[in-house]
Structures are given as structure tokens and as C-alpha cells.
Structure 1
Amino acid sequence: MIIDHPDGVGGQCTEQRSVCRMCHGGCGVIVQMRDGVVSELKGDPASPASEGFFCTKGKASLELLTHPARLTEPLLRRGDKHIAMPWDEALDMAAHRIGEQIARHGAESVVLSQGTDRNYQEWVFRFANTLGTPNVLGPAHVCFYPRVMASILTCGGFTFCDYEGEPEVIILWGSNKLHTHSDGLIGVKLAKALHRGARLVVIDPRANDQTRRADLWLQIRPGSDGALALGMLHVMIKEGWYDAGFVAGHTDGFAELAEHVRGYDPQRVAELTGLDAGQVVALASAYGQAKRACIEAGTGLSQNENAFSTLRSICILSALSGNLDAPGGDVLWDLLPVDGRRSFPLAEQLAPEQQAKRLGGGAYPVLSMAGWAHPDAVWDAMLDAQPYAVKTLLNFGSNLPMVYADAQRVHRALRGLEFHMTCDLFMTPTAQLADLVLPVGSWLERDQIVEFNAYLAPRRKLAQVGQCRSDEEIILGLAQRLGLGQHFWPDLEAALDHKLAGIGHTWTSFKQHGPIANTPHYRKYATQGFRTRSGRVNLLHAGLPRMGGDALPQYRPGEDLPDGHFRMSSAHSRNFYNSEYRQLDSLRKREPLPRVQIHPQAAAALGIAAGDWVLVRSATGSARFCAELCDGVATDVVYVAPSWWYPEEEGADNWQRSNANMLTGRAARASEMGTSNFRNVAVQLEKIEKDDSHAQ
């Protein structure tokens, strides 16, 4: 594999500042160049987000850049093989097939799919909206969008913890913030707040580094967080631990909320959550009586059927306590005036009659309001042509059977497509099924505007692997061929110039300038109100019942755990990023096998020892994992490694053998967003012989 450097990058030894994207975090990085070639990476102390922090995944970026298994040229599938073809021919063919499908079946028959956002999400949506398809598929329903939509419908915006605003109490709720990072918010800010004396409260079913340093740890039953949030509201209202002035001046529905949560007394909540009643009161006291407090709600809360209501309740907690948009609380951030996440998608270009065709929109209108199709509805359309046929998939960076529930159904759906294009760095299980595979670059091979809540920064293209292109460049090439040029630009630099015009920069000047901090402004509601129709916080949302939801947050308990079963959950790995990076030796050595964590007492009862291979079965399917004994989980709970596959192996089953989504099923109807249940799945365990696992 030949690695060249782009024109204009040279000299014996130089340094360039950029932004890592090996995970969501967006840490600042200094890229050292020797003779125009990337030679070393280190954390950037001047980064407004990471302050020099740089994790093991970031340090593996060079390994990713030069990995011998990287895709380096467009590939066309012929039978069971993929053969190389030139870029122009590949894009011409893709555009022809897309146009052909639209002419025959309508634009809605084309689904655009993206994986965890690599800062090109708004590009995918712009392409879909101008193409005329309402169907953009992504992990929104199990990632941040339950929280995004719960916040928007409650208080009109999305909040972030103000760790630099001197919080007295920090609640990490379903979030392992010190090990895994959300957009632009790195654990270093949390660590510094704790060092300054903030009290730490952790709500998590599993012990971790954070629970060991916490002032209070609530080892909650997986999936029962919504009951705990309603219980906190009950105690805070009963004891008067809320900001009465804020409630009277800036909220609607307090009387109805107070009546609604009367039934969630500490004893009932304890029964629903597996906690003690005293812990519920202690949690409400610590939060409700703090002068400044924030709640970091992680994706652990977004992966069961109660996700939307749970996150609505947490937003309401922030409002009642007076911490909403307040120093040290949960701040509503305004983005800088670039053409980005809010405006760049051109949602207005999608005709109303096409919007009405969004797959899953009728069943899950809150998800549809955010612009996303629901995956279960997409698979139905692919497999059963219901409510209409989907024949084409344009996939940007998503390994679908590894990340969506009911993996076998996902795989069957992909196999039946008439045209499937995937853009990725490696030949993943998804790419193996594609008719056309287009090679894309890593973060070191991209020019991008990094738009986070706290800052805006340039990501610079500093390397070129083979013929790889960025996803944005692929979208530009397809848009020109499909007659959408009026909505796009002749090249990427022109597009970046356009996006930056609102802050008076071009791409060239922005690269020279570097990161721009976005300073928070507190209590904006005092002069502007909240961005809701009433200008107030919707404790009760009268419009949600019209969308199939609940005016007040609800909690619906799952089914009782059958005898002989465990509650299965999972957690993000600090070594991988969803299904990515298992090819990288430095990271794989840290986590060589897919693990199932079991309490020693429960394992002994089944004759399972550490290192044994275990077959995990659910009502949907089965998968194999290596046993790890862990006294930090409850005796009726197990944790499995998510999104696992074996890129080093060839064969038809390397994607399913240890895939946690062989165990998950269709979304429960109770959620406004159709959130899949990843956090409370009933499973059984069985010790199996090592030779049966084939996973060595």
C-alpha cells in the first residue's frame, strides 16, 4: 500500500493541529509530519475540549492509517468476489442505478444509511432531502436522539453539563464519562471538576472506575432508570427541594406533574429498581439540595423502551432544581453561526408528501420529527415491500448487522437489495454484501469542519491512502451526476468556504486560525424564553398524546424475569468504537476476546469458570462469549461485549458468532422513538466446549 501526502505539505519536520475522530470525543491532536508524512500523534494541550488528553484509540490512529487491510480502490461485486474499477466508472454506475430505481419505484425506495456520525451527518441529510427520499437510517433511536428529542420537546434545546461552572454535585447516569466520550465533551473536564471537590453520584448497574470513586453509587436494575427519575421527582416535590420561583415563572404543568408522581414513592421505586428506599431519598436529597448540579445522561439510558420518558424526566429534574441553563448545571448551548447541523441538511427541500412516506413515521412520530426512519420499518420494506418496496441502500460507514437489533433479519434484508453501495475503510460484513464498495479515508485523510457545542475547529487532511476519498467528496460526486448540483458545490473546499461564511472565514483562513471556543451564556430564558411554543418548559406536553406519546413521562416495567434467566446488558468498550478497530493489533491485544461478565456466584451455580466459553441464548437467537467473573454485577445480571466480529477470519459466520444483536429483537411499541431494548434482555447461559466456539 502506497501512502502519499497531499500537495503543499512538505518540509523535514512540521506540526499540524487537528481533531481526532477515533471516537465521538473530538480530542485536539498535534500531528507531527516528517518529510510530509505523518510520523507521530500527541494530545494538544491547547485544545478547548481535551486539554492534551489523548486515549489509546487516538494513539492507534497511525495503525489505522497504514493498516494493510484498508480498502484503497472502488470495488464492484461479481458473484462472490469484488473487482477493482476506476472512480469515475464507479460513481457513474452508482448514479445510474440510483436514478433507475427512483424512476421505477420513487425516491422513497432509496434509503441512505450512516453509522455513528463522523461529522458528515448533515451531508447525508442534505443529499437525501434534495434527492427526495425521506428515509435516512442511523442509530438515532438508540444513541443520543432520545435525549435530543426529549430535551427539545421539554425545554426547546439540547443541554450539556457545565463542568467548568463549579457544580457541587455531578450525576453520571448510564454514562462512563471517564472512559468513553460524547461529542466534544471529554472526561478531562469531569475529572477536573471532581478534583475541585464536586460530589460524584453514579447510577449504573455495573461497578467501574467511577463507581469506586463515587460518593454515592446506585446499582440500579438494567432498564429501570425511568422509575428512579420519577421517584426523584416525587421526593423533591414532597420535600420542597425545588426552585419554586423558576417553576412558577418558567414552567407549565407543575400541578399535574406533582399529582402524577405521587404514585412513585421511594418504597415502590425501590421495588421497581432493585434499590433501597433510602438510596432513592439520598439521591433526591443530594441533587435537590445542591446549589449547582448537573446530570450526564449517557446512551445507557437510550437503549430500552422507556428511553424517551426517562430522558424527559431527567430534563424536568434539571428544570425543577433550577439547574437548567444555569452555571454548573445543564446548559443550553447555542451553536456558532456556521451553516451546519441545523441548517445544512436543507430539510425544507423535502416535499411534505415525501415526508409523509418516512418509514416508521406513523408508529414513531417523535423519531420521524427528527428526520430519521425507523430500522424495523426499513427491514420490513426491504423484505416484505411494506408499506412499499425499498430496493436501494446507500450506506456511509455503518456495519449494520453488528449495530442493529435482530441481526439475522438485518442480514437477510441486505441480501435482497437490488443495489447496495457501501463506503467504508475495511471490508466489513456489510461491505461484503454490497454491489459497490467505495474506499473512504480515516480522520487523518479528511478536510472537515468539526462542529461541537463548545468549539468549532478544523480537521486537516494530512495523508492520502491509495485512492480513498471522503464521504463528502463521494456525495458531491453523486450529487453532480444526479442533477442536484444547484444544492452542492464543485469541490469540497468551495463547500467548506460556504459553511464558514457566517463567521467570516474561508477554509484556508480557518485552518490558519484554529479552534474557536463557543462560550456559554447562562439563563438565556430570562430575556429570550425557552425555544418552545409557549416560551416555557413543558413539564406537561399537551402535544405528545397527538403523536402517540404521553403528556407526562411514564414508566412501563418490563416483563418479569423468567426462572433460570439473567438480565442482559452491555457497555461501550474503551478499546473499540462500536464495531470498529478490532483489526488493530494494539487495541485487540487489550481486549482479544468477546467477554460476558458474570457474577462469580451465578457462574459457579452453572459450572462456569473464568475463561470458559459460554453460549448466551435469548428468544431471538444465540451468541458465544468468553466468561469473565465480575463481582461488580448483580447475580441476576450479565454484561456482554457489543458489536463483536472477527475481521481476521474469513467465512460466513464471523459476523454472527459473538454478535450481541443476535440476542436482541424488534423495538417495543411503547416508545415514542421505537427504541430497541439493549439493556434488559432475558437470556440463559450454558457452558460450551472451547472447540465449539471457533473463537480463538
Structure 2
Amino acid sequence: MAPRSFATDPVENGVVLGVCPHDCPDTCSLLSHVEDGRLVRVSGNPDHPVTRGTICRKFAETPRRYFGRSRLTDPLMRSGKKGEGEFRKVTWDEALTAVAARWRRIIEDHGPHAILPFFGSGTEGLVHGHIAPKRFFNRLGSLQLVRTICTKAGREGYRLTMGTSAGADPTAISKAGLIVDWGVNTASTNIHHQVFLNKALKRGAKYAVVNPVAIAGAERADWFLRPRPGTDAALALAMMNVIVGEGRHDVGFIENNTTGFDDLRNRLEEFPPERGEEITGIPAGQIREFARAYAATHPAFIYVGPGCQRHTNAGMTLRTLACLPAVTGAWRHPPGGLYFPTSTCFPADFEALEGKDLRPNPAAGYNMIHLARMLGGDAVKSLFVMNGNPASVLYDQNRLRRNLRRDDLFTVVHERFLTDTSRYADVVLPATTQFEQNDILFSYYHPSLLLNHQAVRPFGRSRSNLETLRALARAMGFSDAGFDEGEDAIIRRVLDLDQPAVTGVNREKLLGDGWAPAGTDPVHAAFAEHRYPTPSGRIELRSDQAQEMGLDPLPDYQALREGPDGSPELHRRFPLQFLTPSAHSIHNSSYGDEPGFRADDRAPNVLLNPADAARRAVGDGDLVRVHNRRGECLLRARVTDDIREGVAMASGQWWDRRYEGETTPNFTTPDFPADLGGGSAFNSNLVEVELARNDGAEAKP
């Protein structure tokens, strides 16, 4: 009997197991409900032990959105000026022939590095989001994309202390005595954390929120600390000053599991709570109170989100935060310790599947946050975009849009909708959704492998990432065996990896239930037993490795490159720190053209503290101009105590047409990197806000 396929055909009627493809910690197990070959409803899978049948509204709305009138059905070729969004329909053969012919000329005249791929997190499926695009562009020999936006800087800093990205188990926090949500808004970005949090609170656990913004749920926190953006390390250092100075540290854990404590103790003398107050704006008394509670309560669990990792000091911030649970011995009381979402929690090496051996030249990469810079010269002649919308989500948009308009830049976009980026394309190729393809995914929140089965046929003439790139490979004349592999073959190769994450995975359970527990990484297992993969084998409170990299070997607070302390003259001109986090109703730029979702968030708007609004004669609902040296956008003011003084915030990457000036907050954000790993630092952003000329126009529907 032939083995069962991991890739299934669409159904006419029935319920099909699936997985949400978004770059979200939850990675929800789904049920796709199909009637007469149409997707009519999406619900959560009640049998998954973590997601338990609950999904967010965003993905519940996908049947209406993904199969509506705005969905692309055919390949398009530009018929007007770049950015105007004027196209004509063509066949796949015409489009593929045009792309292959142009790329062959570019490679002949300028070499393959003149072709630049950009793929974001539109799908986190291993087949369509990772293996297929990397395999193709390895074979093409183009520059390779280095993905850095989310947690790269924080991950590198955390590793300097802990030696790994492994952390505490976030799904076990119902047993915690204290839960600290630090720089994260899980009600919008990790909804199942809320389930475990609620269980813990019902058991009597204490709850703390560290955030400059009053996130959903902050009102029920026992401690709500509101640091100035980018000062999280100073808060952690001041807390440790209290803990160590008052003898509340865990001497036994420190002696047996850490190195460099004496050096750290000396550094902590520089950060009494009074200095912590000066830097963070949090009263010294509140710092002392919270530090004592954190040291005294076990298990104490810290969830560090992306908020404090989008700054120029992100690496040092995470390095410093990682020292907190070591000083108190929180790691000896599971689920105590620290967790932050990172895709490297899934320990598998995909280099062979991604076709590293196919490269005709040595690999050279570019940092994805520097796309605008890369397109600024004449070295890059073509851009290929898949799984992303850089004209919405990236930074320094004035420069990026200017370079996307280059007449000599041949841009190809594989998309489901005519996004902001698609409007600058020469060729647009229609893409499938998760419901129209098979894939395998992992979660970086719960230790699961999840299988996505195709539920319905591709919409119109759309093609998946894998099929599009296989067709381009044929058009380019590539005959490598890897381009003969379909979804089932690639999924099987993932499961055949001789690596801990997949060794021993129950394939029958994966097929039957749509998910199976992932394997245990030896590093994670050793970590749980207090054996750490650092050079010393201990938690490194002092890091010689950091010193060898030219960094301070000890945890420290570093002023932001663009912030009140780091650039005081610029701060006088642009006195508001501008945060641009995810919105509740959209995911990155996905759903960013949905008027209903926009109404839910009262978006696009900018949150201003009443004191800051009064200084500028701004009232609630006024149209304001948010601007700095890089650019500007028009937003409706929302005056509220939810935001601390000196800070402004605009959530979400809505599409251009949803803004009254058709420019977004990312026209103001910087593209300079963080201190480690080349991570993004778009929250290190200073702006001024002033009343715009208000002609009474309403926000666009």
C-alpha cells in the first residue's frame, strides 16, 4: 500500500484540518468548513491542547476577505506609471516569459547579485514561506535576504547571557506566582497567553505590566510600570540594585549557575532606584516595591515582547533583562524565568532543504530593513517580492517609494491583492491563500508541528509560492531535481530530518489530528537542568564573548541613538517618542485595507497624552501632522491618559489609501539598525505633532 500523502486534494464538502499561517506565536490549529467547493467558515480546532478552538477575529473573517472582489485572479503587467496601479491582464506564460527574459539579460550584463529577493512573513509555512523561496534564489545566485525585523537583536543579546534562545515555558504559567508582561500586548498579539494568564490570576497569581502604554488588561495589574521607551535595561538594573543591595538575591543559584556576579554587583552600584527614576520616569519607590515583590515571589515568569526590542539598544536590553531571573534564582522554580517569542525555538536546520548547495557563487546577504538603501544605487536591477508588503511595513518610506519608482528597476510581486507594493510592480503574479495549499508549520509559542491541508481549489488562476517558483525555475532553464518536488515530497523531507525537532514525531497523529508534539531539543533539555550552552557552561552575567565583539562585557543601559538622552538637540526639535506597534485588528499589513477592522481600532489615529495635546492645542479627533526629518503623515488625534507624557503612538500598518494624506507612520520611521544582529530599531523615532489644516474632511472609509 502506498504511504498516505501529507498533501491532500481540495474537497467539495467537509471539514478540513488547517493552520493559521501568520507570523504569530499562537499558530492556531484550524477547521476549514467547505460547502460546494467554497470555503464558508473558519473555526478553531477544539482538540488542540493550547489553541483549544479559539481563533482571532482577523482569521475568522478570511472567507469573506480572501474570496471577494478585490482578490487577484490573473497575472498583471503594468500599463501606467509606477505607483499608479494601472495594469492589464496577461497569461501565466506571458508573465513568466517576460520575467525570465529580463532576468537572463540582467544576469548576463550585471550578474545574479543584481536581482534582489524580498520575502516577509506573509506565510510562516515551511514549504511556502521558507524552503521554496530560499531554494529558488539560492539556485539563481541572487543576494540573500537576512530577516532581522522581529527579534534578531534581542535574541543575540539574550544568547550572550544564556547561550541559547531557549526560555521558560509560556504554556505553563497557570502555575506561576507572578507574571510580568514586559513590552508586550498579548491581548492583540498572543491571545492564548491571555487564557493561561487568566487561569493563573484565578489561582491568586500576581500580575505586572511594564509598558509605556496602558495595554488591555493593565487595569487589573498589581504593578503597572510605565518606563520611557527604550529605558527597559535601566529599570532592570535598578531592580537588581535593590534585590542585591537588600540581600534578596539567590546566593546558592548564583554560585552554582552563573559567572561574573561580583562584576555585575559593581555595575549595579551605578543604578540606584533614584537613577532608575531619572532615566525611566518611574518613581524610585515604585521600582523598589516591584523589585522586592519580584524577588520574593516564586515562580516568577517574565514575558518579554517585541516592544523593547525595536530600539537601537535592543541587544543590550535583552542581555540585561536575562540577568534578572538569574539573580533571583527564578529558573529553579518552573515556570519561572524569562520567555520571549523567537522562531529559533524550533531547533531544525533547513539548509539542505533550502538548496544551499545549489548556489553558483558564495553567499552574500543584505539586511531586509535596508531595502530602501539597497534600491538607491544602480547595482540592483530587479526586485522580487513574495510574502510581504515592504511599501507598507518597512521604514523610511520616502526613500523606499522614490527608489521603487526607478524606471530601470524591474519589480515582480507575487500577491493576493493589489497592495501598496504591488502598485509599483512591473509584473504582478496572483498568489494562493493558506486554504488553497498544503504546508507544515511549527509554533514558537507551543511545542507543536502542525499540518495544513488544502481545503479548496486555487482562486482564479492563482498559484502557490512553490508552484510559482517551480514555474520560474523551468522558465529560467533550471533542471535541478529539487524543482521537481511538490508539497508532499518537501513535507516528507522535513519530517525525515535527523534532528531533534522532528525525530520521533508521530506521523499518524500529525495526519489524523493536524498536529503532533515536536521533539525535544537537547539544548532545551539541558537548559531545564541548569546546564547552559555558553562558553563557561553557566549563565554569563559578565560575558567575555561580548567583550570580544567590542561590547561592554556587563549589562548596561545605553541611550537611544534617536531619543531624549542619546540625541538631545534632535529631541528639542522633535520632542515626542513615536511608537508604531501592531494594531489589534490587523496583522502587520495584512487586513490593512479593511474598513471594518479600521473602525474597530479608531484608526488610523495617534495617541497623545492630554498634557502633550494641550501644549499643541490639539483636541480629541483633530487632524494632526506627525513629522520629522524623514517624512510625515496625517492622523486623527486620540487624546488619552493611556499613553505616557512625551510619547505618541500609532498602531498598525494600514494601507496608503486608508490615510488622509496617503502617507503612513512609516514615512517617519528610521531604518538604522539595533546594536546587535542588525535588528530593526523603528521605535527609536522622534517626531513633532501639530494641528493640520482641517478642512472638515472625514477619515477615509
The question of whether the paired residues in 1 share the 8 Å contact of 2:574 and 2:686 is answered with: no
User: SS at 1:256's partner residue?
Assistant: helix
- Deviating more after overlay: 449-458 vs 74-83: 74-83
TM-superposed deviation, 1:336: 10
Contact 1:395 1:422 in 2 (8 A): yes
Asked if 2 retains the 8 angstrom alpha-carbon contact of 1:22 and 1:443, the reply is no
Distance of 2:430 and 2:170 partners within structure 1 = 39
What's the offset of the Cα at 1:176? 0.6
| Counterpart amino acid of residue 531 in structure 1 | P
- Verify: 1:441 aligned to 2:432, yes or no: yes
Write the deviation string for residues 22-49 of structure 1: whole angstroms up to 9, x where unpaired: 5623222222222332222222221232
Cα gap change, 1:669 to 1:160, in 2 (>3 Å): closer
Partner Cα distance (2:598, 2:427) in 1: 29
Are positions 1:535 and 2:537 aligned together?
yes
Partner in structure 2 of residue 178 of structure 1: 187
Q: Is the 8 A contact 2:22 2:124 kept in 1?
A: no
Change (3 A) 1:419 1:63: same
Deviation at 1:626, TM superposition (A): 0.8
Structure 2 stretches of 5 or more lacking a match?
Answer: 1-7, 498-502, 560-565
Cα distance in 1 for partners of 2:343, 2:618 equals: 52
Q: Is the 8 A contact 2:19 2:30 kept in 1?
A: yes
CA contact under 8 A between 1:566 and 1:683: conserved in structure 2? yes
1:339-362, Cα deviation, whole Å (9 max, x unpaired): 6667644567769x844x434xxx
1:310 & 1:174 partners in 2: Cα distance?
Answer: 11
Equivalent residue, structure 2, for 1:3 = none
Q: How does 1:26-175 map to 2 (within 5 A)?
A: 26-80=27-81, 81-116=86-121, 118-120=123-125, 121-123=129-131, 124-136=133-145, 138=147, 140-141=148-149, 143-158=150-165, 159-165=167-173, 166-175=175-184
Shift of the 468–95 alpha-carbon distance from structure 1 to 2, 3 Å rule, reads same
Shift of 1:568: 1.9
Write the letter of the residue equivalent to 2:604. Answer: P
- TM-score, with structure 2 as normaliser: 0.85
8 Å CA contact retained: 1:569, 1:681: no
Kindly state the Cα deviation for residue 613 of structure 1 after the two structures are TM-superposed: 0.8
Q: CA deviation at 1:642?
A: 3.5
Q: 1:420 aligns with which of 405, 411, 434?
A: 411
Is 1:606–2:616 an aligned residue pair? yes
**Equivalent in the alignment of 1:383:** 376
- Corresponding letter in the other structure for 1:42: S
Contact 2:9-2:455 at 8 Å conserved across structures: no
Distance in structure 2 (CA, Å) of the matches to 1:493 and 1:506: 17
1:584 partner amino acid: E
Q: Which residue of 2 aligns with 1:629?
A: 639
Deviations 1:524-558 (A, max 9, x none): 24769323344333333323344454333332223
Work out whether 1:494 is the aligned partner of 2:489.
yes
1:150 Cα deviation after fit: 2.5
Alpha-carbon distance in structure 2 between the residues aligned to 1:216 and 1:528: 30
Alignment of 1:184-223 (within 5 A): 186-223=193-230
1:457 aligns with 2:450: yes
Q: Deviations over 1:508-530 (max 9, x none)?
A: 98433421134879762476932
- 1:51-101 CA-partner distances (Å, limit 9, x unpaired): 122221122111222221111122122343322223244334434433443
Structure 1 contact 53–188 (Cα < 8 Å) conserved? no
Identify the residue that residue 364 of structure 1 maps to in structure 2: none
Range with bigger deviation, 405-414 or 606-615: 606-615
* Distance (whole Å) between structure 1 residues aligned to residue 69 and residue 142 of structure 2: 37
Residue aligning to 2:3: none
TM-score, length-normalised on structure 1? Answer: 0.86
In the alignment, the residues of structure 2 paired with residue 632 and residue 258 of structure 1 have an alpha-carbon distance, to the nearest angstrom, of: 36
Q: CA distance change for structure 1 residues 540 and 475 in 2, over 3 Å: closer, same or farther?
A: farther
The answer to whether residue 268 in structure 2 is matched with residue 261 in structure 1 is yes
Q: Pick from 377, 382, 390: which aligns with 1:400?
A: 390
- When residues 655 and 524 of structure 1 are mapped into structure 2, their CA distance, relative to the original with a 3 A threshold, is farther
Q: 1:240 & 1:161 partners in 2: Cα distance?
A: 28
Report if the CA contact (8 A) 2:182-2:302 is conserved. yes
Give the percent of matched residue pairs that are identical in Structure 1 and Structure 2.
26
Q: Structure 2 vs 1, CA of residues 243 and 261 (structure 1 numbering), >3 Å: closer, same or farther?
A: same
In structure 2, which of residues 243, 255, 259 is the aligned counterpart of residue 252 of structure 1?
259
Following TM superposition, by how much is the alpha carbon of 1:395 offset from its aligned partner in structure 2, in angstroms?
A: 1.1
2:604 and 2:654 in contact (8 A); partners too = yes
Alpha-carbon spacing, 1:478–1:30, altered in 2? closer, same or farther (3 Å)? same
Task: Give the whole-Å Cα distance in 1 for the aligned partners of 2:469 and 2:338.
Answer: 34
1-side partners of 2:463 and 2:78: how far apart? 19
Give the one of 466, 470, 473 matched to 1:476. Answer: 470
User: Does the CA-based 8 Å contact 1:161-1:295 persist in structure 2?
Assistant: no
CA offset at residue 623 of structure 1? 0.8
Query: What does residue 466 of structure 1 align with?
Result: 460
Farther-moved stretch of structure 1 (392-401 vs 22-31): 22-31
The Cα of 1:331 is off from its aligned counterpart by 7.3
> Are the structure 2 counterparts of residues 254 and 337 from structure 1 closer, same or farther at C-alpha, using a change threshold of 3 Å?
closer
Q: Which has the higher mean CA deviation after the structures are superposed, 277-286 or 250-259?
A: 250-259
The letter for the 2-side match of 1:462 is: A
Question: For 1:301, what is the secondary structure of its paired residue?
Answer: helix
Distance 1:525 1:596, change over 3 A: closer
Task: Name the residue aligned to 1:367.
Answer: none
1:550 aligned to which of 549, 552, 576: 552
Q: Secondary structure at the match of 2:87?
A: strand
Are 2:672 and 1:667 aligned? yes
Question: Match of 1:593, SS?
Answer: coil
Question: Structure 1's 496 and 219: CA in aligned 2 closer, same or farther, altered over 3 A?
Answer: same
CA contact (8 A) 1:128 1:135 kept: yes
Q: For the Cα contact (< 8 Å) 2:506–2:516, is it kept in 1?
A: no
What letter is aligned with 1:302? Answer: Q
Native 8 Å contact 1:60 1:586 kept in 2: no
Q: Distance in 1 between the 2:346 and 2:218 partners?
A: 39
- Mapped pair 1:515 → 2:524: no
Residue identity matched to 2:464: S
Kindly provide the amino acid, as one letter, of the partner of residue 460 in structure 1.
H
Separation in structure 2 between the aligned mates of residue 511 and residue 526 of structure 1, nearest angstrom: 30
Contact 1:644-1:655 at 8 Å conserved across structures: no
- The whole-number CA distance in structure 2 between the counterparts of 1:323 and 1:451 is 28
Give 1:458 deviation, angstroms. Answer: 0.9
Letter in 2 for 1:443: Q
Tell me what 1:410 maps to. Answer: 400
Distance in structure 1 (CA, Å) of the matches to 2:343 and 2:70: 41
How far apart, in 1, do the equivalents of 2:393 and 2:52 lie? 31
Structure 1 residues 435-489: Cα deviation after superposition (integer angstroms, max 9, x where no partner): 2211112222221111114211111211221122222332333345552734444
Structure 1 gaps of 5+ residues are 1-5, 360-372, 649-653
Alignment partners' CA distance in 1, 2:650 and 2:487? 41
Separation of aligned partners in 1, 2:275 and 2:548: 30
String of CA shifts for 1:624-643, please: whole Å, max 9, x gaps.
Answer: 00121212222322212342
Looking at structure 2, the residues matched to 684 and 337 of structure 1 have their Cα atoms a distance apart, in angstroms, of 43
- The equivalent residue for 2:15 is 15
Aligned equivalent of 1:638, options 628, 636, 648: 648
**1:441–1:468 Cα contact (<8 Å) kept:** yes
